[in-house]
Amino acid sequence: MIIFPAVDIRQGKCVRLKQGRADQETVYGDDPAAMGLRWQEAGASWLHVVDLDGAFRRVPSNLESIRRLRRVVTIPIQLGGGIRTLETIAAYFDLGIDRLILGTAALKDPELVRQACQLYPGRIAIGLDARDGLVAVEGWTEVSSRPALDLAQELAPLQPAAFIYTDITRDGVKTGVNLEATRALAQQVQIPVIASGGVSSLEDLRALKPLASAGVIGVIIGRALYDGSIDLAEAIRLAQEA
């Protein structure tokens, strides 16, 4: 199982939001590139990066920070936030980003997702951000009437690299991953699933590990790494244990 440290960028700084709320921000550093390098040196094999301003504004908004991060770290980066066009997708891949995450587009522009998966096989992930099981979009400011599982089943034939499932109510509050919803998604689609939202301790990781047999290949950890509740090197060792 892969541990993805989260690097969320807002106004050029490394931050964490509580349940995605812009008014519930904690700043953890002025240099996202330095933070990415910190996680790489602690053993991370991937980084999960989000342009939060891009998610809210619907257009990439932290290009310089992302460019510098890509120059500094050598491990793969998956990136989401504000990606709405093929031109943006091509520009990010030209920048050296390894995998892009389409979230809002998955619900509002499935044709973009289809084209992106066709043009860049194995490099497009789909973000399924859910509140009470329903897909939320536009930086989590809008909740649709579409169940996340239904949307995943519709998009699975496009063969995305992964579905990234986030329970918004647990994000940033360290109450543990929504194991039931994550398991249900992994069992219903033949696409790798990355869990997100709520990891607070190594016990949460131990609880998540049995889901690997169902197709859960990784987990994104944010606040628990930043406040020291989880040591990244320990988390990686646990995730790699048989």
Which architecture, in CATH terms, is 2-240? Alpha-Beta Barrel (3.20)
User: Could you report the per-residue pLDDT of 69-109, keeping only the tens digit for each?
Assistant: 999 999 999 999 999 999 999 999 999 999 999 998 999 99
User: Could you report the per-residue pLDDT of 24-70, keeping only the tens digit for each?
Assistant: 678 888 899 999 999 999 999 999 999 999 988 889 999 999 999 99
The predicted structure's pLDDT at residue 19: 58
Q: Which residue among 8, 51, 53, 171 is the active-site one?
A: 8
Based on the residue annotation, tell me whether 51 is a catalytic residue of this protein. no
The two beta strands, 216-221 and 193-196, are parallel
The predicted structure's pLDDT at residue 169: 74
In the structure encoding, which two tokens stand for residue 135, read together?
A: 């897909």
What residue segments make up the domains of the chain, in order of their start? 2-240
Give me the mean pLDDT over the 189-193 stretch.
96
Q: Which residue among 53, 129, 171, 204 is the active-site one?
A: 129
Q: How far apart are CA 7 and CA 17, in angstroms?
A: 11
Q: Which of 37, 31, 14, 17 is nearest to 232 (CA)?
A: 37
User: Could you report the per-residue pLDDT of 125-181, keeping only the tens digit for each?
Assistant: 999 988 888 888 776 677 888 999 999 999 999 999 999 999 887 665 567 788 999
Instruction: Identify the helix (H) or strand (E) that includes residue 187.
Output: helix 179-188
In the structure encoding, which two tokens stand for residue 182, read together?
A: 């994550």
The pTM for the full model equals 0.92
The predicted structure's pLDDT at residue 207: 94
Based on the residue annotation, tell me whether 8 is a catalytic residue of this protein. yes
The predicted structure's pLDDT at residue 144: 85
